Amino acid sequence: MKETNFLQEGFRKPEIERLDPYYYVCGGRYTHEELDKMTWEEFGLRRHGSMPSKLYKYYSNKVIDGINYSKEALENNTVYLQEIKKFDDNYDCTLSINIEEFARLRIAHYAKICGMEINEEWSYNRYVVELSAFLYNKMCGGIDLEQIFGIKQLSTQEDYRRNIFCLNLKTVFLSCEGQDNI
């Protein structure tokens, strides 16, 4: 029995004496009991309420790699973005992207543009096979890739994206021409 009590006593957290019985969170002063009762929603509202309406970023007026980015930003209404490898915090640009899912959704997007009937459950490989066959059949029928993708004129970013995609497809088709794997 004594051993059990000894173990229980050993695992208890020591009481920390605090000179100030309050905690300061987002500009507010709270007791331990008030913080224990606070919900996440309340905390979020208090945090949002304590945020300034504007944030300012001060830049030094120094030259980096032969360019004064502060001066350039003011003159040209631009913003200098540091290279990722020069960030001082490794987690500033941590992105979690599922590359396979992105590729699947992107090729599904192009299949929809072409007017091809698709199934949202298809895998990336299935989209590639179906889209390739669809484009091959259309091109054998004398329809140009630009017509298939609905590019009328290069007036929007989407037109340029579609055009780049078509040019990449043409490159692949031309490199495969004459090979037995078409």
Q: Lowest-confidence range among 8-12, 13-17, 61-65?
A: 8-12
Mean pLDDT over residues 3-15, rounded?
47
Pairing mode of beta strands 23-25, 28-30: antiparallel
Q: Domain extents for the chain?
A: 2-49, 99-176
Q: Is the distance from CB of 32 to CB of 15 less than 8 angstroms? A: no
Give me the half-sphere count of Cα atoms (radius 13 Å) on the Cβ side of residue 35. Answer: 11
Which tens digit of pLDDT belongs to each residue from 144-165?
877 887 766 666 777 777 778 7
- Does residue 64 have a pLDDT over 70? yes
Q: Is the distance from CB of 116 to CB of 130 less than 8 angstroms? A: yes
H/E stretch holding 106: helix 99-113
CB-neighbour burial class of residue 21 (10 A; exposed 0-12, middle 13-18, buried 19+): exposed
pLDDT-derived band at 59 (thresholds 50, 70, 90) equals low
Residue-level pLDDT at 4:
45
Tokens of 54: 């504007």
Taking the C-alpha atoms of residue 165 and residue 159, their distance in angstroms, rounded to an integer, is 10
Which tens digit of pLDDT belongs to each residue from 69-110?
888 888 888 877 777 777 777 666 666 778 888 888 888 888
pLDDT-derived band at 1 (thresholds 50, 70, 90) equals very low
Taking the C-alpha atoms of residue 156 and residue 23, their distance in angstroms, rounded to an integer, is 54
List the one residue out of 173, 180, 163 whose CA is nearest residue 135: 173
- Mean pLDDT, all residues of the chain: 75
Q: Is the distance from CB of 123 to CB of 129 less than 8 angstroms? A: no
Taking the C-alpha atoms of residue 44 and residue 38, their distance in angstroms, rounded to an integer, is 10
List the one residue out of 31, 32, 23, 24 whose CA is nearest residue 50: 24
39 or 178, greater pLDDT: 39
- The answer to whether the predicted template modeling score (pTM) of the entire model surpasses 0.85 is no
pLDDT-derived band at 131 (thresholds 50, 70, 90) equals confident
- Does residue 6 have a pLDDT over 50? no
DSSP 7: H
